């Protein structure tokens, strides 16, 4: 009996089985910003082989189920406080620390290799756009949404919860924007293919950009598919308590 089928929602599959993200990444199936749709929709859109994708997903699940401990954390079981800490101290801290460093690397390889590699000037522009957008996005979350969630956890006051919920749509749109730029970066760099004349810095810049993509997709996935539904669930629970 297979664990997953293609009528399931992509985001829900990754929530239930975090390692599914590796399979989706391999097929360029968007699980964070485009997580709220069925797997079959993405398979059809991208003209993928449904049997192959499901087979890979179900085999990986079986392997991991047989080797417990290798699995990633199931964030649905975490407390809201734990999710908030994971996002702020792991994912936001990562971006604040790494984006400036990656920015310096991107400009360095543009100076050295830009004449022979026109894709680097596109990558430079895309990286700086996503960096700028993410900086204001992180600030928005850190000054509005996360404090409101923490206030709510303290006060249990519905006004605090509403404040956190009110900007969900806006944040989701920004996630989609950042996700799209990361996808474009992949396209212009031909999947971060290292050219024959590349130096060490070139290689490490591409490695860093891919690491950032990984971290960002995981971060957006937890916000879109775990945290936001959690907040909406708390709101519903409040409503049914009142009603
Ligand atoms: Fe965030
Ligand atoms: Fe976010």
Read off the pLDDT of residues 118-161 as tens digits, 9 standing for 90 and up.
999 999 999 999 999 999 999 999 999 999 999 999 999 999 99
Do 178 and 222 belong together in one domain? yes
Same domain, 29 and 60: yes
Q: Quick check: is 1 in a domain?
A: no
User: Is residue 2 domain-resident?
Assistant: no
In this structure, the answer to whether residues 44 and 87 fall within a common structural domain is no
H/E element holding 136? helix 119-140
Kindly report the average pLDDT of the chain as a whole number.
Answer: 93
How many angstroms does the Cα of residue 162 sit away from the middle of ligand 2?
17
Indicate whether 125 and 21 sit together in one domain. Answer: no
Residues 6+ positions from 107 with CB-CB distance below 8 Å: 124
Write out pLDDT tens, residues 21-30.
888 988 999 9
Please indicate, yes or no, whether residues 90 and 35 belong to a single structural domain of this protein. Answer: no
Q: Is 5 inside any structural domain?
A: no
- Which of 14-18, 112-116, 225-229, 230-234 is predicted with the least confidence, judged by mean pLDDT? 14-18
Last residue of a domain, one of 24, 39, 66: 66
Q: How far is the CA of 220 from the centre of ligand 1 (A)?
A: 7
Q: Determine the pLDDT at residue 238.
A: 82
Mention every residue, 6+ apart, whose C-beta is less than 8 A from residue 172.
33, 224, 228
Strands annotated E in the chain: none
Rounded to whole angstroms, the Cα distance separating 125 from 106 reads 10
Do residue 86 and residue 49 come from a single domain? no
Say if CB 105 and CB 201 are below 8 A apart.
yes
Distance 162 CA to ligand 1 centre (A): 18
The answer to whether the beta carbons of residues 122 and 188 sit under 8 Å apart is yes
Give domain status of residue 173, yes or no: yes
The answer on 195 and 153 residing in a single domain is yes
Q: How far is the centre of ligand 2, averaged over its atoms, from the C-alpha of 168 (Å)?
A: 9
Nearest Cα neighbor of 189 from 126, 134, 147 is: 126
Is residue 217 situated within a structural domain? yes
Between the CA of 2 and the centroid of ligand 2 the distance, in Å, is: 33
**pLDDT recorded at residue 41:** 95
- Determine phi and psi for 100, rounding to 5 degrees: -65, -40
The verdict on residue 227 lying in a domain is yes
If one counts the domains in the chain, the total is: 2
pTM: 0.84
**156 and 187 part of one domain:** yes
Residue 185 has pLDDT above 70, yes or no: yes
Distance 52 CA to ligand 1 centre (A): 33
Q: How many whole angstroms from 92 Cα to the centroid of ligand 1?
A: 6
Domain-embedded: residue 37: yes
pLDDT > 90 fraction of the chain, expressed in percent and rounded:
80
60, 155: one domain: no
How far does residue 85's CA lie from ligand 1's centre (Å)? 11
- Give domain status of residue 3, yes or no: no
Q: Answer yes or no: do 14 and 94 share one domain.
A: no
Residue 193's pLDDT is 96
Give the residue carrying structure tokens 């087979």: 55
Residue 70: the pLDDT is 46
The CA 90 to ligand 1 mean position distance, Å, reads 10
Q: Within this chain, do residues 125 and 149 fall inside the same structural domain, yes or no?
A: yes
Backbone angles phi, psi at 233, to 5 degrees: -65, -40
Last residue of a domain, one of 36, 66, 96: 66
Nearest ligand, measured from the Cα of 167: 2
DSSP tally for the chain: helices H, then strands E = 12, 0
Section 215-221 average pLDDT: 96
Q: Assess whether 89 and 199 both reside in one domain.
A: yes
User: Rounded to the nearest whole angstrom, what is the distance from the C-alpha of residue 199 to the centroid of ligand 2?
Assistant: 34
Domain assignment of residue 143, given as a range: 79-242
Among the three residues 18, 45, 66, which one is the final residue of a domain in this structure?
A: 66
């Amino acid at each position: 009996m297979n664990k997953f089928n293609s009528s399931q929602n992509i985001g829900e599959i990754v929530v239930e089985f975090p390692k599914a993200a590796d399979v989706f990444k391999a097929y360029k199936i968007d699980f964070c910003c485009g997580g709220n749709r069925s797997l079959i929709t993405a398979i059809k859109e991208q003209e993928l082989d449904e049997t192959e994708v499901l087979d890979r997903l179900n085999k990986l699940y079986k392997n991991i189920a047989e080797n417990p401990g290798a699995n990633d954390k199931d964030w649905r079981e975490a407390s809201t406080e734990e999710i908030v800490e994971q996002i702020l101290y792991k994912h936001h801290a990562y971006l604040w620390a790494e984006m400036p460093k990656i920015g310096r690397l991107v400009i360095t390889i543009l100076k050295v290799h830009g004449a022979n590699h026109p894709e680097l000037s596109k990558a430079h522009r895309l990286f700086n756009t996503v960096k700028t957008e993410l900086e204001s996005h992180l600030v928005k979350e850190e000054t509005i949404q996360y404090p409101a969630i923490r206030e709510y956890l303290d006060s249990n006051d519905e006004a605090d919860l509403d404040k956190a919920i009110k900007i969900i749509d806006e944040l989701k749109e920004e996630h989609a924007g950042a996700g799209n730029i990361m996808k474009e970066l992949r396209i212009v760099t031909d999947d971060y293919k290292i050219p024959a004349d590349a130096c060490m810095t070139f290689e490490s810049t591409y490695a860093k950009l891919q690491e950032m993509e990984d971290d960002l997709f995981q971060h957006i996935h937890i916000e879109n598919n775990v945290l936001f539904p959690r907040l909406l669930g708390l709101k519903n629970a409040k409503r049914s308590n009142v009603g």
